[in-house]
Chains A and B, each alone.
Chain A
Amino acid sequence: MGNKAEVWQGTLALMVLKTLEAMGPLHGYGIARRIEQTSGNRLALNYGTLYPALLKLEQEGAIEAEWGLSDNHRKAKFYRLTRAGRKQLARAAQDWEQATAILALFLAPGEGGA
């Protein structure tokens, strides 16, 4: 339990967008499972936090929702990336890469100062 990482502030939306880009339309439960799998089960994701995040993305126009049928023939609400969502994903991914690259420079051993 102790060695699972918490989801950092603001990264959940990015993970959701990336998941939807990779997987196509998917319901909330599916997205949650997929995020966990992708992280190699290293993330402690509280599934409940996903729904306000999905609502926020929907309000921002990054995703759209529609009721459909799941693989097991259960009624489920499917989320799909919109054009605006793709752009937002591209921008956020770039920002994130840049941020991690900068942080990596700081954390690299032996570089710089005395």
Chain B
Amino acid sequence: MKTLRASIVRLGGLLHQQRREADLAAEIESHIAMHTDDAMRAGLTREQARRQALLKLGGVEAVKEAWRDRRGVPFLEHLWLDLKFALRQLRKNPAFAGAAVLVLALGMCASTAIFAFVDAALVRPLPYPGAARLVAVTETSAGFRRANLSYLDYQDWKHFNTVFQSFDVYSGGGFLFHGPDGAEPARAGRVSAGFFRTLGVTPLLGRGFLASEEGPGAPRVVMLAHGTWQQRFGGRPDILGRAVTLSGESYTIVGVLPADFQFAPLGAAEFWTVIDARSGCAVRRSCHDLDGVARLKPGATMASAVANLASIARQLEQQYPDSNRGRGVSVILFAELVSGDFRPILMLLMGGAGLLLLIACVNVASLVLARAEARKREMAVRSALGASRARLCSQFVTEAVLLVAGAGALSLLTASVLIETLKKLIPAAMLPQMSFLRDLGLNPAVLAYAAMVAVLAVAWFSLAPLLHLAASKTRDSLAEGARGATGKAWRRLGSRLVVVELAIAMVLLAGAALLGKSLYRLLHVNLGFRPDHLALITVAAPDVSYGAKERNVALGREIVSRVASLPGVESVALTTQPPVTYNGNTDWIRIVRKPYHGGHIEVNERDVSAGYFQTIGARLLHGRYFSDAEDASKPKVLVINETFAERYFPGEDPIGRQIGDTQLTPKSIWTIIGVVADIRDGALDSEIWPTEYHPFNQDPSTYFTVMARTRQKPEALLPVLGPVIHQLHPDVGSTGETTIEASINSSMTAYLHRSSAWLVGGFAATALLLGVVGLYGVVAYSVSQRTREIGVRMALGAGRVSVYRMILQEAGRLAAAGIALGAAGSVAAATLARKLLFGVSSWDAPTLAAVAGLLGIAALAASFVPARRAARVNVVEALRCE
């Protein structure tokens, strides 16, 4: 009670300080007067009496100080004083304060912004209850680390496994939505009935799918994504039970998914339907088009799940050798599947931002140290006047807090802008796969990260000068004329920091250069076709109307001739998959008249129309291309790529050879008529796979891409492509009109390489600037400290050239040390990040040499200015200085 009362009174003691001071002074004065009176009465002179009174009191100022400590809350008062003093100091030194805050804010901003992405993609759990137990389950094959499941394999795995609470599958797809403007392709997801229950997602309206809806004879039902409900159906509340026509067939709407539902693998899916267990693919064990997602049972681990499924897979392999040979099991965390492509680049960027933050901190620390050095005398005076060590420390801490707080506030502002900017730079086509970015921003986790960085920075900026000052003695500092020893110590420390800065700058520069070179190599990789002047559009026709082969072929011909008649169009062709997309859509083949051991020969399969190779500008190596007349009525022919020929017909002429399915069933036999130089079908950075090209007219599809070579800019054709096809057949939908160059540029591979190259490039440029400024600072300080020495040297006959040499040698030693250290660091860093490099080795000597050269030149330029000042020293003034 009384302590509480006292505390309140003490807080009150912070007020009316002047009056209380006066009161105390009067009280002590009266004390001394009374004591002096008494002592005089005892026979002392006035002087002696007063002296005795003062001695007995113990010193007026000491009493006042003890009294003051008791009066208010000394900690708060000191803090306030420190704050006022620190602010005054910073204001008195705006260049220092501004530079330190800016540099630090730069580092903090970059690392906070990148961390926001890391947090969204890698740290934050996916928005499903118990997301940590969700796993992605697929098969594996020789060609794929993760290969699709077949429906029948899935059924067996689901039935016999003992590790999953539930196990479901999904697959992407599309429908033609028949809206008011005719047919329009819409993304869709096909899932097994328990899919949403496995994810733990409850529909906003209606219900999820029932197990009975997966079986034969089930009614067609569909669930809508929230956006679809809002945009295509106006958000009408009576949506349940209504019918919607998709690809010419009627579906009943049974549910609407919540607005915050996200499923990155099928990001843009608008309609969700149940897998049709009767459809063509689902009844064939060799037809793989599904991905699995499962929830682990409590107690089950990834390892036990893999072991359990692998034993099932082995049994299936024995039971169905033809379809299941070499099919293994892959189980990874579902979160890993979602973030998979982004993980390495985010780690790289986090590393880059971390290095930038480090260099910023080192830079500011050397500023702080330089100031501490300059204030040594001030500290010594305060210490001599009785300031306690704790009091001096708290001054440094207060200043560090002020600096970091300023920088932190600035960095949060800029980081939020940077985050938005980076988000805008992501190609729209990639956003659905990055649904985790939906709640990207300065959330509590990111703020906590920023706070942690700030606390570390405060610790570093207050410890550095303290440790530095602890090493020097008060007495030496008071006699500041003796600058020799301490000045040297500081120069040594500053030099070390600069070496670290230059080394980091070198690592970032080398990283940026390697990534830039990778990007260049990637964008200039041999495509096997001419990407300029190529427009493309994807077409989807409903199976109900165009499923019959003749009708499908006729549709293809009509579209080709209609588009070809457009002005400015040189030639037109169809393909089931445009180049530079992905390896996949494969076929298992067997080569006639070659020994076969039952292993799967897996090759890419593309169905292309007759003019395809000429239109995209591919190069024929042997044989011939097929003609438009080669349709179902003619013998089956195909063109293979060079890799196919080299791998399966080494040293032989493949023309005229035949391939078929794994059983070599007579109707599956195709005859090779041509070999085309490799066309890059997969992503820019993936290897070329053996590929077979079937005539579209012999193996048509209702989902294909139209490719048109134009005489003028291909962009001019884009607005008319869709309407032209639509006019021709209102029930046929089209989507994704673009140019092949644009599609390559916005591909995931190009984006990842480009963004990493640019961002790390930005970090590197900043680091270079900071490193060089740091070097300049150290050399300039050194020159200012050595003015007298230089004067002496020159008085003794040293020429200006030798002064230049002396200063530049000092800078050169630092730069060389930094570059050497940085070169080693660069190789190590690049080795860590080698997966992100393309066509460049992590120890690419020309790149390292160029970067070292750049850094060396920059360092030389930075030290030239102080060197010049040193060489122009006026000997007489220099000798007089001090």
Contacts and interface: CB of A to CB of B under 8 A. Distances in A.
A24 interface: no
The 5 closest A-B pairs by CB, nearest first: A48-B58, A48-B63, A59-B6, A52-B70, A59-B9
B33 A74 contact: yes
Contacts of B476: none
B303 to A, nearest CB: 65
A70 B34 contact: yes
B34 A74 contact: yes
A51 interface: yes
Interface centre among A46, A59, A77 (most CB of B within 10 A): A59
Nearest to B56: A47
A75 B6 contact: no
Contacts of B13: 59
A60 B2 CA distance: 5
Given A29-B35, A60-B2, A61-B2, A55 B58 contact: no
Contact of B27 (A62, A77, A84): A77
A49 B13 CA distance: 19
Contact of B63 (A51, A74, A75, A77): A51
Interface residues of B, number: 30
A52 B66 CA distance: 6
Given A49-B58, A49-B66, A60-B5, A55 B34 contact: no
Nearest to B10: A59
A70 B30 CA distance: 10
A3 interface: no
A75 B9 contact: no
A2 B729 CA distance: 116
Interface string B24-45: 1011101101110110000000
A18 interface: no
Interface string A31-62: 00100000000000011110110011001111
B31 A28 contact: yes
Given A46-B58, A52-B63, A75-B30, 4 more contacts: A48-B57, A49-B66, A56-B70, A74-B37
A72 interface: yes
A27 interface: yes
A48 B30 contact: no
A17 to B, nearest CB: 13
Interface of B: 2-3, 5-6, 9-10, 13, 23-24, 26-28, 30-31, 33-35, 37-38, 56-59, 62-63, 66-67, 69-71
Given A60-B6, A75-B26, A77-B27, A52 B34 contact: no
A27 B30 contact: yes
B31 A59 contact: no
Given A28-B31, A76-B30, A52 B67 contact: yes
Contacts of B38: 33
16 contacts: A27-B30, A29-B34, A30-B34, A46-B58, A48-B62, A51-B67, A52-B63, A52-B67, A52-B70, A59-B5, A59-B10, A62-B2, A70-B30, A75-B30, A77-B26, A88-B2
Contacts of A59: 5-6, 9-10, 13, 70
Contacts of B28: 51
Contacts of A47: 31, 35, 56-58
A79 to B, nearest CB: 10
A75 B29 CA distance: 10
Contacts of A88: 2
Interface-centre pick from A51, A70, A77, A88 (highest chain B CB count, 10 A): A51
Nearest to A30: B34
A36 to B, nearest CB: 10
Contacts of A70: 30, 34
B37 A72 contact: yes
B5 A55 contact: no
A29 B2 CA distance: 26
Contacts of A51: 24, 27-28, 63, 66-67
A30 B2 CA distance: 26
B396 to A, nearest CB: 29
B522 to A, nearest CB: 75
Contacts of B70: 52, 55-56, 59
Contacts of A29: 30-31, 34-35
A72 B59 CA distance: 24
A84 B6 CA distance: 13
A62 B67 CA distance: 17
B55 to A, nearest CB: 10
Contacts of B6: 56, 59-60
A76 B62 CA distance: 21
Contacts of A75: 26, 30
Contacts of B35: 29, 47
B93 to A, nearest CB: 38
A55 B21 CA distance: 13
B66 A48 contact: yes
A51 B34 CA distance: 15
Contact of B69 (A48, A52, A84): A52
B58 A76 contact: no
A30 to B, nearest CB: 8
Contacts of A76: 27, 30-31, 34
Interface string A66-106: 00001010111100000010001000000000000000000
Contacts of A46: 56-58
B33 A61 contact: no
A45 to B, nearest CB: 9
Interface string A14-27: 00000000000001
A28 B66 CA distance: 15
A29 B32 CA distance: 8
